[in-house]
Structure 1
Amino acid sequence: MDQFDLLVVGSGPAGRRGAIQAAKLGKRVLVIEQGKRVGGVSVHTGTIPSKTLRETALNLSGWRERGFYGRAYRVKQEISAEDLRRRLLITLDHEVEVLEHQFARNRVQHMRGKASFIDPQTMQVVKDDGEVINVTATSILLAVGTKPFRPDYMPFDGKIVLDSDELLDIEELPRSMVVIGAGVIGIEYATIFSALDTQVTLIDPKSTMLDFIDKEIVEDFTYQLRDRNMKLLLGQKAEKVERLPSGKVELTLDNGRRITTDMVLFAAGRMGATDTLNLPAAGLEADARGRLSVNPETFATKVPHIFAAGDVVGFPSLASTSMEQGRIAARVAVGAIAKEPPKYFPYGIYAVPEISTCGLSEEEVKERHIPYECGIARFRETSRGHIMGLDTGLLKMIFSLKTRRLLGVHIVGEGATELVHIGQAVLNLKGTVEYFVENTFNYPTLAEAYKIAGLDAWNRMGDIKSEI
């Protein structure tokens, strides 16, 4: 039986960041990963694969150049599933190599195997070769992530009815696709395949989508999707899904409508991957979706020396926030001081087009009864936007009329997930509208949209502090 200061189950963003943080503090750390390679869901089936697929699709399809050359423009006329997979494998190999080097450099031990609790301090690990070992640790960090929710009524076959993990292994690109679930994952994949000229239909029982995003941004995003002929069947539910002898799939909706398609992607939710951990032996239990409850400041569970971080604890389920959760949890677990991260963090949705947001939405500002003003800039108003051939793209900032401070920044369009960090910095540093009006931005850049939106708001707010 081996004894460690920190035992980490899972090597995704939360697990690897927590493990390396504890190791940097001089602690003896072991990471257990049940996958074939380190990296967890983020590297192998989630964040990195979907973003690599997106970038490959945009590059090979010539999507970014169609503003100049028309919708028929292609970089590669016939794009295959193998074209997408080739770049994905190169990227994944690099990610795994970097992670293994980080573990080696920081002297983090790791092994492949399935871990489950024997008691609150001890876990049993069944290795790939069948060997069983017991590991004890002063503290344990559960960073097991999530897996796709697979309801019994869906006839999954891994070929034409798939979940988001299986989508990465398709053998050919479908001419038509139905995506069930208008959450972040469903929307990302729906828009990626739409950019590849697959006819996409998006179905969700809710009449709205992305309710945590500023409504004006969602409206602009929705307009862009409909403009390129994506069908959005919101407020409708797929009651029956069956494979046809022809090799297609037929869906029957709750309103009687029938849809025939080449492929169905079910992306309506994910489950915490806790079912194999034998949580009762540790005095823990998961909720109906397999998630664990934690203290939001320390990420400790109700068993004081057992921590959980990442997607397994629920919203916001971002790789970026999971890393910070893992770092904080590891510091607390080994008795180090852990500072709370800044209040505002960016949320990125890697759809086509991208959406990114930080701070309060206009709806949240209204709920708090804060007097406010908005500033809007469209990417086509910037010289860089013209150079890039952008007809769409919107940046919105919300300011307090009382303090003139930035309250929220919301972007839809090319490069949104990069641009948002300027707004994030100003938010966390409590900057005001004058920052955007009085500062110089590189020309020509899309970041100029901040100045345009700042001036738009400033003109509406009236000049109190500035002499411009």
Structure 2
Amino acid sequence: MADHQYDVVVIGAGPAGEGAAMNAAKHGKRVAVIEDKLQVGGNCTHMGTIPSKALRHSVKQIIQFNTNTMFRDIGEPRWFSFPRVLKSAERVIAKQVKLRTRFYARNRVDLYRGRAHFLDQNRVEVQGGIAGREILCAQQIIIATGSRPYLPEDINFTHQRIYNSDSVLRLSHTPRSIIIYGAGVIGCEYASIFVGLGVKVDLINPGERLLSFLDGEISDALSYHLRDNGVLVRHKERYSSVEADDRSVVLTLESGKKIRADAFLWCNGRTGNTDRLGLESIGLEPNSRGQLAVDEHYKTEIPHIYAVGDVIGWPSLASAAYDQGRSASAEILKDDYIRFVNDVPTGIYTIPEISSVGKTEEELTDAQIPYEVGQAFFKDLARAQITGDTVGMLKILFHRETKELLGIHCFGDQASEIVHIGQAIMSQPGDLNTIEYFVNTTFNYPTMAEAYRVAALNGLNRIF
């Protein structure tokens, strides 16, 4: 059996693998992608970003229907089952798979179905594929295998009432109550989704506050609104045991508390998908969470083998993964486009959503940087009053003396869209990166973007 020869072999067809493969193919390289799932798109499309955000959108529409007085004249509040709401996500997933499959075909990237396993530093075997055993040989290899939920061995995830952030998408009913363990991004997003469906939610946070990497004021706002919507948040709690039977799940905490619910959802950490790649045969060793170390060009300890996306850890975002993949292939191509992705905005799709870029107040205070704050509350914006989405705020942090933008933090409807205006101005050179841009620019009215002008005036009025 002859080996298949390629310039670049990419392992994984998620955002990182797609970014790497498309960039290399468009520059004339012969590229192959190995994917062990039946369809392209990776965890992002099938288990993570796309389904959870589609779920969130549907639940947000349900909440708007049930709280809008105009609809109350038509009928009583309505609640929808989790499986019914999930169907909207399935339609989006199908469209995304069709789109991405077309990308590979149009760019003449060979797609191999099966599990990748290293034979040596230049040869990868495709196991379990339709065509049987195949061997791909390449000058450069990019590992973009993504991640999966970290599952502790002392919890029985085969039980019908115990779920993780992947398996919850197979939930066939709507539980009356659910315990969510882990209050990171995924845990907070699912807490918003389930409470929006009328489910009683206990959110267990091993840390001291929600999403501690956020600006403190934004974190506090999220905590308040989750509680206001009915989520019971418990901080500084760790599990001792999780026991389930045919009727319920009981979570016992180290503090001695016991919580009973219809279902249990584990959202506490992820593991890189490296355990079945045969990395021991090429001398690569992942860390305890299955993640690979890379340099600023995404090279592993083996110079011609790269790693990108969730498999290298932070920031574990689809948006960043795509850019990391492009950068890795740009390094292979010796292209001018290469950057180490370390300035990505956060996008957290809770209800309301959160997005930020740049420094937080805590970071600026610790660094003893003289900054000031400009605020715009959505309740005061005409566009928010029209749509009814009045919860939230935009906060701009800027240097008191130079007026340089230091951080943009947004909480509320369309936050992940609004933040990009501030991100674009922050990236400008010299005097163009100042809060005065927002005062000297005319924004459409009424829009949510107008919040920048309001917040800029608010901040500049604080300077004396």
Cα gap change, 1:130 to 1:101, in 2 (>3 Å):
closer
**Secondary structure of the equivalent of 1:461?**
coil
Q: Does 1:395 align with 2:394?
A: yes
Q: 2 CA distance for matches of 1:134 and 1:170?
A: 38
Greater CA drift, 202-211 or 350-359: 202-211
Q: Counterparts of 1:311 and 1:13 in 2: how far apart (Å)?
A: 10
CA distance in 1, matches of 2:278, 2:347: 34
Q: C-alpha offsets along residues 141-168 of structure 1, whole Å, 9 cap, x if unaligned?
A: 0000001111111121363100111011
SS of equivalent residue, structure 2 residue 180: strand
Q: 2: distance between equivalents of 1:343 and 1:90?
A: 33
Q: CA offsets, 1:41-91, max 9 Å, x none?
A: 1111011111111112222x2337726569999897241233223212211
Secondary structure of the 2:288 match is coil
The 2-side partners of 1:130 and 1:110 are apart by: 12
Q: Residues 361-407 of structure 1, C-alpha deviation per residue, up to 9 Å, x if partnerless?
A: 11111122111100111100101111122341011000001210111
CA 76–70 in structure 1, closer or farther in 2 if over 3 Å, else same? closer
Pairing 1:285–2:285 present:
yes
- Pairing of 1:356-371 with structure 2 (within 5 A): 356-371=355-370
Q: Percent identity?
A: 40
Residue in 2 that maps onto 1:105: 106
Residues 298 and 341 (structure 1), Cα distance of their counterparts in 2 relative to 1, 3 Å cut = closer
1:171 counterpart residue number:
172
DSSP-derived class of the 1:259 partner:
strand
Structure 1 residues 186-237: Cα deviation after superposition (integer angstroms, max 9, x where no partner): 1111111111111111002212221111111101111111112210011011
Alignment of 1:439 with 2:430, yes or no, is: no
- Listed as ranges, the gaps of 5+ residues in structure 1 are 463-468
Written as runs of structure 1 = structure 2, the 5 A alignment for 1:329-408 is 329-340=328-339, 344-408=343-407
Aligned residues: 459
Contact 1:62–1:73 (CA<8 Å) still a contact in 2? no
Q: Which residue of the partner structure matches residue 46 of structure 1?
A: 48
Matches within 5 A, 1:53-68: 53-59=55-61, 61-63=62-64, 66=67, 68=69
Q: How do residues 411-430 of structure 1 correspond to structure 2 at under 5 angstroms?
A: 411-430=410-429
The equivalent of 1:141 in structure 2 is: 142
Alpha-carbon distance in structure 1 between the residues aligned to 2:100 and 2:281: 31
The 3-state SS of whatever aligns with 1:344 is coil
Tell me the TM-score normalized by structure 2: 0.95
CA contact (8 A) 1:66 1:73 kept: no
The answer (yes or no) to whether the contact 2:112–2:126 under 8 Å persists in 1 is no
* 2:309 aligned with 1:307: no
Conservation of the 8 A alpha-carbon contact between 1:6 and 1:28: yes
Matches for 1:144-155 after TM superposition, within 5 Å: 144-155=145-156
With 202-211 and 371-380 compared, the bigger mean Cα shift is at 202-211
- Contact 1:13 1:322 (8 Å CA) reproduced: yes
Deviation at 1:263, TM superposition (A): 0.7
With the length of structure 1 as denominator, give the TM-score of the two structures: 0.94
* Matches of 2:207 and 2:344, distance apart in 1: 27
Instruction: Report the AA paired with residue 227 of structure 1.
Output: D
Distance 2:75 2:329 in 1: 48
Give the corresponding residue for 2:267.
267
- Which amino acid is the alignment partner of residue 189 of structure 1? Y
Contact 1:344–1:424 (Cα < 8 Å) also in 2: no
Q: Secondary structure at the match of 1:119?
A: coil
Cα pair distance change 1:3/1:72, threshold 3 Å: farther
Kindly indicate whether residue 106 of structure 2 is the aligned counterpart of residue 115 of structure 1.
no
Aligned to 2:258: 258
Aligned counterparts of 2:15 and 2:317: Cα–Cα separation in 1: 9
More displaced stretch, 125-134 vs 249-258: 125-134
Change (3 A) 1:71 1:374: farther
2:309, 2:279 → 1: CA distance? 17
Change (3 A) 1:33 1:236: same
Structure 1 residues 278, 434: CA separation in 2 closer, same or farther (over 3 Å shift)?
A: same
The residue type paired with residue 36 of structure 2 is Q
Within the candidate set 35, 38, 55, 2:37 is matched to 35
Q: For the Cα contact (< 8 Å) 1:410–1:420, is it kept in 2?
A: yes
The one-letter code matched in structure 1 to 2:189 is E
Deviation at residue 130 of structure 1 after TM alignment: 7.1
Unaligned runs of 5+ in 2: none
Q: Per the alignment, in what secondary structure is the counterpart of residue 119 of structure 2? A: strand
List 4+ stretches of structure 1 deviating above 6 A: 70-76
